[in-house]
Structure 1
Amino acid sequence: MSTSRVDPTVVSQPVPDEARWPGLATPPHSPLRARAAEALFRHAVKTLAVRVTFPDGTVLGAGGPSAPEMRVHRPAAEANTIEGSRSNIHRHYDLSNDLFSAFLDESMMYSSALFGPGDTLTQAQHRKLDSVLDYAGVREGSEVLEIGTGWGELSIRAASRGAKVTSLTISQEQKVLADARIAEAGLSDRIEVRLCDYREATGEYDSVVSVEMIEAVGASYWPTFFSTIGKRLRPGGQFGLQAITMDHDRMLAAAKSYTWIHKYIFPGGIIPSVHAIEEGMRENTRLKLAGMREFGHDYARTLKLWRDRFHQRWDDIRGFGFDDVFHRMWEFYLAYSEAGFRSGYLKVHQFGFADPR
């Protein structure tokens, strides 16, 4: 009878769930289609002081172990058609309402807060909402279109001002909880949440509001997004927008990249620049810029609070069915994003656009 011993120096790694993390355990591989391109690529990099690592472990380049390394992957198509958008949103926002409830504050806002002196996170989230609603001119009697419901807090805040709100989402999970929260607030008669893509919107409104949804639109669809805003606003209407932004040259570079954020966190997404937003509105609507503010450091603070709470509530989150791979990935995602805002690489802006007529 023989026995085996476990080597204590070997660290057991969790096995990724292939259904949840496609490509993480078995990266896509297409040798026939890649053969010609690989031959050209080998010739190009063989004298460079870099390392190029393929999914099968092949290493190219003249660099040593400490040289800069590039890992090559083949991304699947993630175009933001109407069906593609539903699929992309499903992969993030439909993960679990319980997950988001665990680390967000009671407002259930998954976007940057705007902090004032002494604000709690919830107070800062309401300050943010009041600011963007002011940019959109939302008041008693306003008819409001919200693009991107989230879990309903902006609609609740707008309806509390006496507005009538139509809110659009393509997340079934978010709609279920948003409807429940709206009913609990006693505002179901003033708010209708529709499971509807922004391109399928109808009617005219006094105000349109969208908070951190444009990042999921995709650059090739920005003209459609902006023109939809113009079509849905009545003459004299106003648009309030909150968007994560980056410098224009960085945006152009990012548009050509495919990173782990695209693959595992926000498929199909791209962060716009202020220039892209202003140009898109100018070319596709009659609206003029009426106001703007930037508060990226508030986003860093927001993310820090989310990350702390995510860590504190991990045992609860694990109980919802999330594994250790998810734990490490999301802690890194939250910290990575926080660093982007602290460094100024990423910013967040609110914009007010108004029809001059």
Structure 2
Amino acid sequence: MKITELSGVKEIARRADVSIATVDRVLHNRLGVAQKTKEKILNIIKEMDYKPNILAKRLASKRVYKFGILIPNDHNKAGYWKAPITGIESAYSEFGEFGVELSYYLFDKENRKNFVEMYDVIFEQPVDGIILAPIFLKESMDFAIKCLENRVQYVFIETNIPAARALSYIGADLYQSGRVVGNICQYLLEEKDNVLVLNIAKNVDSAEHLEKRYEGFKDFMLETFKKINITNISLESDNAEILNYELDKLLKKRDVRLIFVTNGRVHLVAEYIRKHKLKNVKLVGYNYTIQNIEYLKSGHIDFLICQKPIEQGYRAFVALYEHFIAKRKVNNVQYMPIDILTKENYMYYEY
């Protein structure tokens, strides 16, 4: 039987032998209801499979919530950040009618100053919630403090800063992600093999969070092999000539069996492997991007680790919707699956 909004609340109140106002307090998680009474009402709600008519309430209130999106601007180049944007827009198409207005503030991911400029622009107008990729850690902490001062809620995607007290973090467990890579790679290696780990990041902040992936990888390797030689190198440039020069030096010194790139710039190393026809070097990296998939298909990348970036964007929007509109508690951490792609299965991946 379909239960209308008013009759539903009245029926709950009748069955619980309480007033409609008491039911309303429980539905909106307000104080002033004895625990025993609250539990009784919640059980009745569950039995009736009652769901409040949120849309009707939103239309009645005419309140419009303003959400800002602060992420890198490479989405126009079919880069990685196109995927979270797709997820956000998908959620907006489902929940936008509940009274939400979206604004985009896109920054250059290589430029700290531009990031600060964009977050200053956000606060020039009223804003309720923000979805943020905290690429620059110090500046993102400053931004979080400003949000708290202005009572603005914010959700992190891709990278977490636990001390920043975001409404929710949506992304992978970076340490466990590194351990997953280690688990895969154990089958590609033997005792005493040489492994090269590359952190290719233009800013130090990115290198810091990539270190968590390295730590997970290293710990798994050391637990698995009695003797394994791991070299960890950070390169603060994605310039192909500089990368080629560094790889030339590193690979001349040692016979490297496997290269693990801790981020989405793995395609740069794949191009080096293709160009130099390195048949015995295995390559593992991150992210479902057009460039990476092409090298995965050609066999120059052996495995890609992916963390459903579209779903990250979708969940981030839903987290703000749940908090502001549905008035429901949001999980502080929402870890994404750690998926493994090969040239045999990438075409079936829904990211």
Provide the TM-score with structure 2 as the length reference: 0.33
Provide the TM-score with structure 1 as the length reference: 0.33
Higher normalized helix content (fraction of residues) = 2
